[in-house]
């Protein structure tokens, strides 16, 4: 479901896949090639949410903010993960059920492990694991995975759109 709120409508690139079971509301911008999967909630009721190009917002993930939330390009927000405000750089993988709290600032090429709870600044090229999240350097294998973490999901979103399985976003399209 895609809905305006307080006169602000989501602006969605024409190439975006939005599942029929997702909820997108308010002052949201969604960039080219991004996919929004079943159960995902993108709720911009108190501040704006900007999602970059080729992101994958997977099943039951939540994006919400009290002020401003921004995801860079190629962000993989996996199943059940929550980002509550702040900034996430590009080429970032946020693991299953991880939580990024308000005012978190995540750099580029960051791997956040499943279940981690993250607050504060996370530098580029980092691994974050645990509760509270502990920051470590990336291994070569982890760094390689972050070069294009969303490629298969971009293709899968196209496949779903081609088979008529996404919402019609025509009324909310921005950019081409």
Burial of 158: CB neighbours in 10 Å, binned 0-12, 13-18, 19+: middle
Enclosing domain of residue 35:
2-172
Q: How much is the pTM?
A: 0.94
Determine the pLDDT at residue 173.
87
30: confidence class by pLDDT, cuts 50, 70, 90? very high
Determine the pLDDT at residue 174.
77
Cis peptide before 132 (omega within 30 of 0): yes
Percent residues over pLDDT 90 in the chain: 95
Q: What is the pLDDT of residues 115-134, one digit of tens each?
A: 999 999 999 999 999 999 99
pLDDT at 99 over 90: yes
Burial of 127: CB neighbours in 10 Å, binned 0-12, 13-18, 19+: buried
Determine the pLDDT at residue 34.
98
pLDDT at 175 over 70: no
> Which CATH number characterizes residue 34's domain?
2.160.10.10
The total number of structural domains in the chain stands at 1
65 close to 44: Cβ distance less than 8 angstroms = yes
Mean pLDDT of the region 137-146: 93
């Amino acid at each position: 479901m895609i809905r305006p709120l307080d006169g602000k409508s989501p602006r969605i690139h024409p190439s975006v896949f939005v599942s029929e079971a997702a909820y997108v509301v308010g002052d949201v911008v969604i960039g080219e090639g991004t996919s929004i999967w079943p159960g995902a909630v993108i709720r911009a009721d108190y501040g704006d949410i900007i999602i970059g190009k080729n992101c994958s917002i997977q099943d039951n993930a939540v994006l919400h903010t009290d002020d401003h939330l921004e995801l860079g390009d190629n962000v993989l927000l996996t199943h059940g993960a929550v980002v509550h405000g702040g900034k996430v750089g590009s080429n970032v993988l946020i693991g299953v059920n991880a939580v990024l709290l308000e005012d978190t600032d995540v750099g580029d090429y960051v791997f956040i492990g499943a279940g981690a709870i993250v607050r504060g600044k996370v530098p580029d090229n980092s691994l974050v694991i645990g509760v509270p999240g502990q920051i470590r350097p990336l291994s070569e294998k982890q760094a390689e995975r972050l070069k294009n973490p969303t490629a298969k999901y971009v293709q899968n979103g196209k496949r779903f759109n081609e088979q008529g399985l996404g919402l019609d976003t025509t009324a909310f399209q921005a950019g081409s």
